[in-house]
Amino acid sequence: MRITMEKALPITSHPVPSPNNGNGLAGRIRRRIAWALMSLSLAYLILSGTSPQTWWSAKSPPNYAAQCVQPDALFPKDNADLTKAFDFISSPEFKNATIKRLSDAVKIKTETFDDLGEIGVDKRWEVFYGFSEYLEKTFPTVHEKLKVEKVNTHGLLYTWQGSDAGLKPTVLMAHQDTVPVPAETVSCHQINVHD
């Protein structure tokens, strides 16, 4: 036979909400006081100029303008030659000459296609001879001073050897070919070059 002894827990009574659920006179007074306190708090914050950020944090707002500061150049230092070069490339004459060069370059149809045959067999490659001649005619000093190599017939490699061979090289790359565009989707616009 087994005897179990249990300790009796005291019975507690829990408050039962009043049938009016705070809709009585006391509840209405409490709500009015709460609304009055919230309104006064909001009016104080607005009139005192306190921003919402200061309510949650003591930090000052971030200064976004100071986060993207461009440091001074370490090399090369400003000098008369750089200033002269910058003035030249900022001039209307240089801008107009550049527009003309680009305009003339894009008139050469250097389109490439997925089904191109071998160079020398497929005549569509021949436009690139004209494009390299255009570059040589338009930029004679570049072709005179730099080493120019042709890679796989139409690839152009320009090497501008610096005076310090110990420095790391810089590579600038571009492409000569363009994507074919159906003629019926093209409308021509005249570009006027002004001085």
Please state which of the ranges 4-18, 49-63, 89-103 shows the lowest mean pLDDT: 4-18
The single residue listed with the structure tokens 């000459």 is: 97
- Give the pLDDT confidence of 152-161 residue by residue, as tens digits: 999 999 999 9
Asked if residues 136 and 158 have their Cβ atoms less than 8 Å apart, the reply is no
Query: Structure tokens of 35?
Result: 């609304």
Greater confidence (89 vs 41) lies with: 89
What is the pLDDT at residue 24? 76
Q: Is the pLDDT of residue 163 over 70?
A: yes
Q: Following CA atoms 106, 107, 110, 113 in sequence, which dihedral angle do they give, to the nearest 10 degrees?
A: 100
Across 145-164, average pLDDT: 93
- Give the pLDDT confidence of 84-138 residue by residue, as tens digits: 998 999 999 999 999 999 999 989 989 998 899 999 999 999 999 999 999 999 9
Cα 98 from chain centroid (whole Å): 25
What is the pLDDT at residue 68? 73
